[in-house]
Each structure stands twice: as structure tokens, then as C-alpha cells.
């Protein structure tokens, strides 16, 4: 694509494949960012905003946002730390998907019970920086120097096979459900960090004229995330029990309370976390609330 076409546009980086890609596409659709990506092209123009989408490997996005001309991006919290880009990018929103843990995994049937027992051993990982820092502290505490220190070796894929194939004594890798690790005969003994997908922007704004558009897109994405996380709970309750009921449904900031024709009753509307919906309804019933209704949110601004 002609670079002149991109000039003046907000550049938004999206993972081109992998565990985050499909969820990012859903997020863009929910934020009404309309685009058509031609086959085999990694740049496309948004039809209803002055935006260009750039499809990149997730691990590269922090560097393009932090040091390049890309204004915003979606990537994993883990790769920001691995790329050592914490001071160059700002995590604007946590997106509540792509959740996983960076863990030390060892053979289930092996003798290792703690990370201290791995001092001076062989570690295979795709996260050389984070694993290196973690095991450097362990080596320091063990007083290891020179060639006796833990060996960190990079492997780009199939990290979970390294122990079974004789390449490592342990691995450091991202774990979602843990099924892949269990199938490989591995078990966790330590967690380096918890990660999820994040929306990032450059810590130092590059193009002042597009800051309002950056803020608009951020607000839209925040609204989509909130709509997925929350539902609207509406019910009627006696005024005498209102304080007890609203303690169950405090809302994101505060519930909406409306009078009814019967002066002893009020209607309450509140946002409730979707994952707590059933428990909240049970508690409202026990308080004495009636006509409890749940409404899904298609979108929101929060």
C-alpha cells in the first residue's frame, strides 16, 4: 500500500493470527469499526473512520506502538513485558479475554518439586527475557556463577515437547486451560505472571491531531467490553428494604431508583456482572424483591 494513503490516519495494530486474532475482530465489529481486509494484505483502511488497521504478530505490536508510527494496538500484557516496552507504551484497557498464565512447568513424574531445584538446570522457553530475570534471581540466591548458572534456551514453538524430547529439565510457557501441558506430562510449579489482552497506546503521542479519535475508539472498545461483562438487572422492592437490595446491586457507580404508583415500592435498575447474575437474583429474592428481570447489553458507554 502507498505510504501516502496512511499519512494522517490513526494506525491501529491487530494480531494477525493466533489466540487473540478472532476476539480482536469481534471487538472491532462491536465498536463499529468497518473494514474489509483483502487476502494476503496486512494493511487495510477502515471505511467509516480515518483509521488504518495494521495486522502484525502480537509479539511485535508493543515495539511498533512504542517506537514506531503505530498509534494504538491490541496485544498481550505478557509480550509487553517480554519486549521490555513498559516505559514506551501505556496499557489503556484490559480487555477480559486472552487470559493465561506464564508458568514454570516440569515433568509430572520427575523429581523437581520447587523452582529452587532448577537452579543450574536447562530451561526452554519463548520468553527469554522474563524467564531469564526469574531464574537469575534464583541463581543469585543459590550463589551460582559462570557456567553453573541456569541455561535459558529459546524455542519458537512446541515448547511443551522440550522436556520429553530431552532438550530441557523444565519449560516456561503460557498456559490457558492447562490441557496441552497435562497431555505433555507436565505440571506447574510456579507462575511468573498473569496475562490477558490489552489495548495499548504510545506513551508519547505521535500525532496530536488524532488524539480525539484515539479517545473515541478507546471509549467504544471500553463500551463493548462492559456490555460483555455486565447485564442490566431490574426489579421492584419495598422502600423499607431498598438499602439492603441496593447493597446486592450497587451498580458500576450507583443504581437507578424510580418511584412507582404505590408509594411503598420503588423500581431499581442496576448493572450487574454477568458472571454473578444467578447469585444476585437469588439474593434479591431473599431480600423480598419482585419482578426481577435481566436484560442483555448489545453495547454501552461507560
213 in any annotated domain: no
29 in any annotated domain: yes
Pairing mode of beta strands 100-107, 72-76: unpaired
180 with 191, same domain? yes
* Contact between 121 and 151 (Cβ < 8 Å): yes
Starting at the earlier edge strand, list the strands of the sheet with 51-56: 43-45, 51-56, 10-15, 72-76, 197-202, 89-94
52 with 77, same domain? yes
> From CA 113, how far away is CA 189, in angstroms rounded?
7
DSSP string for 30-45: HTT--B---TT-SEEE
85 with 128, same domain? no
131 with 158, same domain? yes
80 with 19, same domain? yes
7 with 92, same domain? yes
> From CA 31, how far away is CA 76, in angstroms rounded?
20
pLDDT value at residue 126: 95
222 in any annotated domain: no
89 with 106, same domain? no
Residue 146 has pLDDT above 60, yes or no: yes
Q: Comparing C-alpha atoms, which of 254, 252, 229, 247 is closest to residue 286?
A: 247
* Contact between 239 and 267 (Cβ < 8 Å): no
79 with 146, same domain? no
Residue 103 has pLDDT above 70, yes or no: yes
- Among 139, 172, 195, the domain-final residue is 195
283 in any annotated domain: yes
What mean pLDDT, rounded, does the chain reach? 93
Q: Tell me which residue range forms the domain holding 64.
A: 3-97+197-206
Of 89-98, 194-203, 205-214, least confident by mean pLDDT is 205-214
87 with 121, same domain? no
pLDDT value at residue 3: 63
114 in any annotated domain: yes
70 with 111, same domain? no
* Contact between 63 and 202 (Cβ < 8 Å): no
H/E run at residue 54: strand 51-56
104 with 191, same domain? yes
Count of CB atoms situated within 10 Å of the CB of 269: 16
Residue 9 has pLDDT above 60, yes or no: yes
Domain count, the chain: 3
Q: What is the pLDDT of residues 150-192, one digit of tens each?
A: 999 999 888 999 999 999 999 999 998 889 899 999 999 999 9
188 with 257, same domain? no
pTM of the model: 0.84
CATH classification at residue 61: 3.40.190.10
Banded pLDDT at 2 (limits 50, 70, 90): low
301 in any annotated domain: no
Looking at the chain, the whole-number percentage of residues with pLDDT higher than 90 is 83
- Position of cell 538446570? 121
- Among 173, 206, 239, the domain-final residue is 206
Amino acid at each position: 500500500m502507498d505510504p501516502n494513503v496512511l499519512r494522517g490516519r490513526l494506525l491501529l495494530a491487530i494480531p494477525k493470527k493466533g489466540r487473540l486474532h478472532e476476539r480482536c475482530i469481534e471487538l472491532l465489529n462491536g465498536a463499529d469499526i468497518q473494514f474489509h481486509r483483502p487476502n494476503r494484505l496486512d494493511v487495510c483502511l477502515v471505511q467509516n473512520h480515518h483509521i488504518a488497521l495494521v495486522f502484525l504478530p502480537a509479539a511485535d505490536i508493543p515495539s511498533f506502538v512504542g517506537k514506531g508510527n503505530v498509534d494504538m494496538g491490541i496485544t498481550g500484557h505478557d509480550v509487553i513485558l517480554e519486549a521490555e516496552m513498559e516505559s514506551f507504551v501505556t496499557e489503556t484497557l484490559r480487555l477480559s479475554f486472552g487470559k493465561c498464565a506464564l508458568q514454570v512447568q516440569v515433568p509430572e513424574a520427575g523429581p523437581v518439586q520447587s523452582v529452587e531445584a532448577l537452579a543450574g538446570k536447562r530451561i526452554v522457553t519463548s520468553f527469554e527475557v522474563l524467564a531469564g530475570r526469574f531464574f537469575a534471581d534464583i541463581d543469585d540466591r543459590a550463589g551460582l556463577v559462570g557456567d553453573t548458572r541456569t541455561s535459558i534456551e529459546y524455542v519458537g514453538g512446541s515448547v511443551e515437547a522440550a522436556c520429553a524430547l530431552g532438550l530441557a529439565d523444565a519449560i516456561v510457557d503460557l498456559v490457558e486451560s492447562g490441557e496441552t501441558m497435562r497431555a505433555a506430562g507436565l505440571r506447574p510449579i510456579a507462575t511468573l505472571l498473569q496475562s490477558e489482552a490489552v489495548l495499548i497506546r504510545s506513551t508519547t503521542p505521535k500525532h496530536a491531531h488524532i488524539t480525539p479519535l484515539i479517545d473515541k475508539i478507546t471509549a467504544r472498545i471500553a463500551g463493548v467490553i462492559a456490555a460483555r461483562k455486565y447485564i442490566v438487572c431490574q426489579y421492584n422492592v419495598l422502600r423499607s428494604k431498598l438499602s439492603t437490595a441496593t447493597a446486592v446491586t450497587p451498580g458500576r457507580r450507583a443504581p437507578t431508583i424510580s418511584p412507582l404508583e404505590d408509594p411503598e415500592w420503588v423500581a431499581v435498575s442496576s448493572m450487574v456482572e454477568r458472571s454473578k447474575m444467578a447469585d444476585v437474583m437469588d439474593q434479591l429474592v431473599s431480600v423480598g424483591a419482585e419482578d426481577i428481570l435481566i436484560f442483555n447489553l448489545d453495547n454501552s458507554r461507560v
